[in-house]
A = this chain, B = another copy of it.
Amino acid sequence: MNPPIETPQEPTIAIGLSVPEAQACILDRIIPLEAEEIELAQALGRALAEEVYANRDLPPYDVSAMDGYAVRAADLTELPRTLQVIEDIKAGDMPRLSLQPGQCSRTMTGAPLPSGADTIVRVEDTRPLENGKAEFLVPTKPATDIRLRGESMRQGDVVLQAGEEITPATVGVLATVKRAKVKVVRKPRVAILSNGDELEALNEPFDPRKIPDSNSHVLMAQVQALSIEPALLGIAHDNPDELTRFIERGLEYDVLLISGGTSVGDYDYVRPTLAALGVTMRFWRVEMRPGHPVAFGTSEHTLVFCLPGNPVSSMVCFEQFVLPALRRLMGHRRLFRRTIPVRLAQAVKSRQGRAEFVRATLSRDTSGAYVATPVASQSSGDILAMARADALLVAPSGRNGLVTDEIAQVQLLETASWQHLPDTEK
């Protein structure tokens, strides 16, 4: 097929991309946002925008890794042996005395090793005696239970790379190198707009003929789950002036999510307004279910996602397209939901050429392996069924249905971060 010559007024919009093609179409247009400096206490979940160096050796000196006694190993060649305790050293103390033959010092975990000592004996391998002596019962080797100076980090080492996600443990590294402030990629500003005459806002009175607007609140929660506080612009009615005013406001943000307006007639209606405001549509309709009518466009400063009006379709499209886009804007490297292999409790219908995202719950078989069971209703309008799901089971576009007991991948939703039972004794 010869592509038509592209005119600037009407660039080619890709119709019927696969999910990975659509993801690439989005992600290829995104680079991380600029850096900002923030307090460490606010940094959890952000991506580092700088390399971080160690400002000291850690430990700052050789320290005891255990509660016990610092000794000269040569003193313990014959056992049991009694040594004189010359000093009690805690973490934070500096030793005052050097060990001479026949002497030892009591050391708490983290206490500096006194000079003359070359190993630690754990307190449980000793017996305290009267007159400031201790009896040693167990053989030892030099350099046991000592953490050496610089073992954890050496001054000048790169301890964190730009682009790393700030987790609790990285907060620990940053506190260790005394970074009370840290450079991170700023968060995207996200606006959410609902669209449609049939919608009743959360703060509007009940109208039996209308449909409550749930999608904008779900999208808000999906964005909040990434620690971004979005702006809810409200509901634009099917009126070109109103739609223009709302979209103009939305284009002041980094990302605009428009809920509704993607099915044939609606899209014909929303598209000219977007075009008039300088938004170039990049794709429409992706070979997936639910979520087929999703559309994506860009203006000079804004990524615009048009999400389907069906609540489950909207959520699934957010997961596949908006979520990785927001994570890339935030500077993260891991953009996609964790997936795990599961065995299928039942067959799954799907059609070759179209990826199917099936709402499923997770359980375990007797071996501890995961089993996925599709929830009863797979209607794209059924938000209740989505609320019961732990995961999205993926039937890839290359397959024509999946069979019972085969191994497939599921994307773990937020709720699946947690489980009922611990796993320490299996």
B338 contacts A412, CB within 8 Å?
yes
Inter-chain CA distance A18–B424, complex, in Å, is 9
Of A78-86, A130-138, A239-247, A386-394, the one contacting chain B is A386-394
Most chain B CB atoms below 10 A, which of A153, A206, A211 = A211
Q: Which of chain B's residues has its CB closest to A91's CB?
A: B198
A41 to chain B, nearest CB (A): 7
Complex partner residue of A59 from B109, B199, B332, B381, CB under 8 angstroms = B381
Q: Which of chain B's residues has its CB closest to A40's CB?
A: B217
A134 to chain B, nearest CB (A): 14
Query: What are the residues of chain B within 8 A of A35 when measuring CB–CB?
Result: none
A123 to chain B, nearest CB (A): 6
A168 contacts B60, CB within 8 Å?
no
Assuming A338-B417, A339-B419, is B221 touching A383 (CB within 8 A)?
no
- A180 sits at the interface (CB 8 A): yes
- A415 sits at the interface (CB 8 A): yes
B409 contacts A368, CB within 8 Å?
yes
Query: What are the residues of chain B within 8 A of A424 when measuring CB–CB?
Result: 18-20, 320, 355, 394, 396-397
Inter-chain CA distance A196–B108, complex, in Å, is 11
Query: What are the residues of chain B within 8 A of A310 when measuring CB–CB?
Result: 109
A90 contacts B198, CB within 8 Å?
yes
Complex partner residue of A420 from B203, B213, B334, CB under 8 angstroms = B334
Query: What are the residues of chain B within 8 A of A336 when measuring CB–CB?
Result: 418-423
A162 to chain B, nearest CB (A): 14
A198 contacts B110, CB within 8 Å?
yes
- A34 sits at the interface (CB 8 A): no
Q: How many copies does the complex hold?
A: 2
Encode A328-341 as 1/0 by CB contact (under 8 A) with B: 00001111111111
Query: What are the residues of chain B within 8 A of A341 when measuring CB–CB?
Result: 367-370
Within 8 A of B (CB), among A146-201: 147, 151-153, 159-160, 164-178, 180, 196-199
Inter-chain CA distance A383–B415, complex, in Å, is 28
- A214 sits at the interface (CB 8 A): yes
- A266 sits at the interface (CB 8 A): yes
Query: What are the residues of chain B within 8 A of A338 when measuring CB–CB?
Result: 412, 416-419
Inter-chain CA distance A27–B83, complex, in Å, is 45
- A413 sits at the interface (CB 8 A): yes
B337 contacts A418, CB within 8 Å?
yes
Report, as a range, how many residues of chain A touch the other chain: 35 or more
Most chain B CB atoms below 10 A, which of A59, A123, A167 = A167
B225 contacts A151, CB within 8 Å?
no
A211 contacts B59, CB within 8 Å?
yes
Within 8 A of B (CB), among A114-153: 123, 147, 151-153
- A73 sits at the interface (CB 8 A): no
B409 contacts A220, CB within 8 Å?
no
**Residues of A that sit less than 8 Å from B by CB:** 18-20, 23, 40-41, 44-45, 55-56, 58-61, 65, 67, 90-94, 106, 108-110, 123, 147, 151-153, 159-160, 164-178, 180, 196-199, 202-203, 206, 208-218, 220-222, 224-225, 232, 238, 263-266, 309-311, 315, 320, 324, 327, 332-341, 355, 367-370, 379, 381-384, 386-387, 389, 394, 396-398, 407, 409, 411-426
Q: Supply 16 further A-B pairs (C-beta < 8 A) apart from A108-B266, A324-B422, A341-B367.
A: A41-B217, A44-B221, A56-B208, A59-B211, A60-B208, A91-B196, A108-B264, A160-B387, A167-B414, A168-B218, A172-B214, A172-B315, A172-B383, A175-B216, A336-B422, A411-B423
Pull 28 A–B residue pairs with CB atoms less than 8 Å apart, ordered by A.
A20-B424, A41-B232, A56-B206, A67-B263, A91-B197, A106-B265, A152-B384, A165-B415, A165-B418, A168-B225, A170-B387, A171-B217, A172-B214, A172-B221, A173-B387, A175-B202, A178-B206, A320-B424, A334-B419, A336-B422, A337-B419, A338-B412, A339-B423, A355-B424, A368-B407, A394-B424, A397-B425, A398-B425
